Amino acid sequence: MEHNVAASRLQGTGAHALELEGVARHFGALVALTGINMRIAPGERRAVLGSNGAGKTTLFNTVTGDFLPTAGRIRFFGEDITELAPHERIRRGLRRTYQISQLFTNLSVLDSIYLACRGVSRRRFSLLRPSVSDPNMAQAESIMHAVHLDADRDKLVGTLSHGQQRQLEIALALAGAPRFILFDEPAAGLSPTERRDLVAILNALPKYIGYIIIEHDLDVALRVSEYVSMMHNGKLFKEGTPEEIENDPMVQEIYLGGGHG
Amino acid sequence: MSNVAFSETGPARKNWVERLGIGHILLALFLLIYPLIASDFFLTTIGGYSMVLGMIALSLMLLAGYGGMVSLAQMTIAGIAAYVIAIFGENNSNVHGFGWPWWIAAPLGIFLAAVFSALFGWIAVRTEGIYTIMITLAIATAAFYFAQQNYTLFNGFPGYSGLRAPEAFGVYWREPVPFYYLCLSCAVIAYAAVLYGSRSTFGLTLQAIRDNPRRMRAIGYDVTAHKVFAWFLAGIIAGTAGVLLAWFNGRISPGTISVGPAINILIIAIIGGLRHPIGPFVGAVVVVLMQTFAIDIVGAERFNTLIGLFFLVIVFISPDGILGLWDRFKPAPDRDSWHSRPDGTGV
């Protein structure tokens, strides 16, 4: 599979799921991202690793439109989305999760997922209550099942455990026919059992859904990705397969510590 | 909290008594027979006026309770509808008064109020929290001074008088009993619409935006557009109340939309409670009763002090207003029933 991904990356033909070209983001004098070039094929699953402050989350925020890049272009399935509002990018099939859960604490689990499904469909301004036959509701039920939250469907999100809230984070990203997802440390704070569940959920995603995962837990990151990009000080400095990255002396020195492996 | 509305395997379908809730039915019965036991004064000056103020406060509850946007401009929005009635309908101020029939002037007033509400919202949604309060206070203050100083359109300080409620279907709707039922009908429709709408797709969207606007953007929602639409809907409710207010007072002047009345609406909403659409009406009844009878207790110079002290006590004891007190003291199994439940039965 790695070879296929690498081949599709090298071909350079056809639209990439995500293409970053010279992307930079500055906060005053602080250079959070600089010269980011990245091409990700449709269906590719990429891990982005790096120490804290390397610019990983800023990279996500730039792709989703939370921040506009200071320089560079971003293309999503061939379309230039650099200037698009965040919600417009979402409607084109881009999704994300957050490092710190961003949820609707006073809504129920089912309502939250339903809204996520509805967000990319028509009639978002409907003043009618959703009916049992609403296809978005059926999709919400299905996603709720996929992330193992069936038993908590009517619980208020604010009353869920941390692990359940992380599962809901993923559920919101899966809603409404995503084509590409940005997972920002989805395993943060999860127990070993919950991490195993997370890996199972990610590996069970349909093959056409590609993603980038930021994850400090290498056991998780390398098991769910086909290709790895390393970031340091706002730059991409190394790319390769999980095995190459894990065995790279420079990576071990900078990110994993000299004694690793 | 059972989400029966969405559940295919949920409990058996409820009958209409269970769906409405016994509290709603008892309240409706009382309000329907109220004219039999109340004097004309209690029908209009207490009953009708409470419902008008309650509707304006309801429009604030919609924005603040569901949308997290505390507005001080709701009285201004109601005032716009009242001024439209005065300008396009009949008045005896010899300024404008185009004499359009009520069935054109009233809907036009409500529509323009909603449009201006959306405009105010479009300005205000760029801010959050205390800044929304400040910007809407600025809008209310600017509107007050503009209306007071502009004689071409608003007839300045005296405003317009001689506004008449319609005579339709053989009834003069400013008579105590018809006016009471007119206000009751509008209030019930507005209340039911907000209660139903709180569980609609848009209602859920608004509450989700209140909880986390950033996440809403990240699941495909144009947060600004949804907030502005909420202001438009709130404008319909406040505008309807503004029309009734014009008919109730028979006049509209800048004093009606000054800063004092604007803050009164916030006080009404907070005293009643912002968690459920019944709260603004409870607050309106309490405040109108106090405004009417506090003078008898403490004299004309102190009645505002009494209202202020009551406000402080309520906020101190129960940040959720009288609804919060009700929740605290009623029997445990019924607690939290004032929340908007998924199936819409909230009493």
H/E segment holding residue A30: strand A30-40
E runs forming strands in A51-174:
71-76, 79-80, 94-96
CATH number, domain containing residue B110:
1.10.3470
B234-250 b/e (C-beta count within 10 Å ≥ 16 → b): bbbbbbbbbbbbbbbee
Domains of chain A by residue range: 1-93+178-261, 104-177
Q: B211-254 pLDDT, tens per residue?
A: 999 999 999 999 999 999 999 999 999 999 999 999 999 999 99
Instruction: Flag residues of chain A having pLDDT under 50.
Output: 1-13, 259-261
CA distance B2 to B142: 47
Sheet holding A45-50, edge to edge: A94-96, A180-184, A210-214, A45-50, A227-232, A235-240
Taking CB atoms and an 8 Å limit, are B204 and A123 in contact across chains? no
Mean pLDDT (whole number) for B162-183: 95
- For chain B, the distance separating the N- and C-terminal CA atoms, rounded to the nearest angstrom, is 14
> Which pLDDT score, from 0 to 100, does residue B319 have?
83
Contact B338, B346 (CB under 8 A): yes
pTM, entire model = 0.89
Q: A1-93+178-261 in CATH: which number?
A: 3.40.50.300
Q: Which residue of B has its CA nearest to A101?
A: B215
Q: Which of B129, B61, B128 is nearest to B320 (CA)?
A: B61
> Which pLDDT score, from 0 to 100, does residue A222 have?
87
Judge whether B274 lies within some domain. Answer: yes
Q: B57-70 pLDDT, tens per residue?
A: 999 999 999 999 99
Q: Which residues of A make CB contacts under 8 Å with B?
A: 64, 66, 85-87, 90-91, 95-96, 98, 102-108, 110-112, 114-116, 118-120, 123-130, 132, 137, 153-154, 156, 172, 175-176
Mean pLDDT (whole number) for B163-177: 94
> Which pLDDT score, from 0 to 100, does residue B312 have?
92
> Which pLDDT score, from 0 to 100, does residue B339 have?
43
Question: Which structural domain range is residue B134 located in?
Answer: 17-334
Judge whether B179 lies within some domain. Answer: yes
Question: Which DSSP symbol is given to A108?
Answer: B
> Which pLDDT score, from 0 to 100, does residue A255 have?
60
**Residue B91 confidence (pLDDT) above 70:** yes
> Which pLDDT score, from 0 to 100, does residue A21 have?
96
pLDDT band for B338, please (50, 70, 90 cuts).
Answer: very low
Judge whether B8 lies within some domain. Answer: no
Judge whether B3 lies within some domain. Answer: no
Smallest CA–CA distance, residue A257 to chain B, in Å, is 35
> Which pLDDT score, from 0 to 100, does residue B341 have?
43
- Closest partner residue to A132 (CB to CB) among B8, B200, B201 is B8
Q: Which residue of A has its CA nearest to B209?
A: A104
> Which pLDDT score, from 0 to 100, does residue A14 have?
65
Contact B269, B61 (CB under 8 A): yes
Judge whether B11 lies within some domain. Answer: no
Judge whether B284 lies within some domain. Answer: yes
> Which pLDDT score, from 0 to 100, does residue A136 have?
92
**Residue B137 confidence (pLDDT) above 90:** yes
**Residue B343 confidence (pLDDT) above 70:** no
Judge whether B7 lies within some domain. Answer: no
Taking CB atoms and an 8 Å limit, are B220 and A98 in contact across chains? no
**Other Cβ atoms closer than 10 A to B39:** 11
**Residue B300 confidence (pLDDT) above 80:** no
Q: B32-48 pLDDT, tens per residue?
A: 999 999 999 999 999 99
Q: Which of A215, A230, A194, A235 is nearest to A99 (CA)?
A: A215
Residues of B in contact with A91 (CB under 8 A): 220
Count of domains forming chain B: 1
> Which pLDDT score, from 0 to 100, does residue B297 have?
83
> Which pLDDT score, from 0 to 100, does residue B332 have?
54
- pLDDT over 90 for what percent of chain B? 75
CA distance B63 to B57: 10
- For chain A, the distance separating the N- and C-terminal CA atoms, rounded to the nearest angstrom, is 24
> Which pLDDT score, from 0 to 100, does residue B13 have?
66
> Which pLDDT score, from 0 to 100, does residue A207 have?
92
Judge whether B107 lies within some domain. Answer: yes
Tell me whether B199 touches chain A (CB under 8 Å): yes
Mean pLDDT (chain B) is: 90
What 3-state class would DSSP assign to A114? helix
Q: B1-36 pLDDT, tens per residue?
A: 333 333 334 445 678 888 888 889 999 999 999 999
> Which pLDDT score, from 0 to 100, does residue B15 have?
80
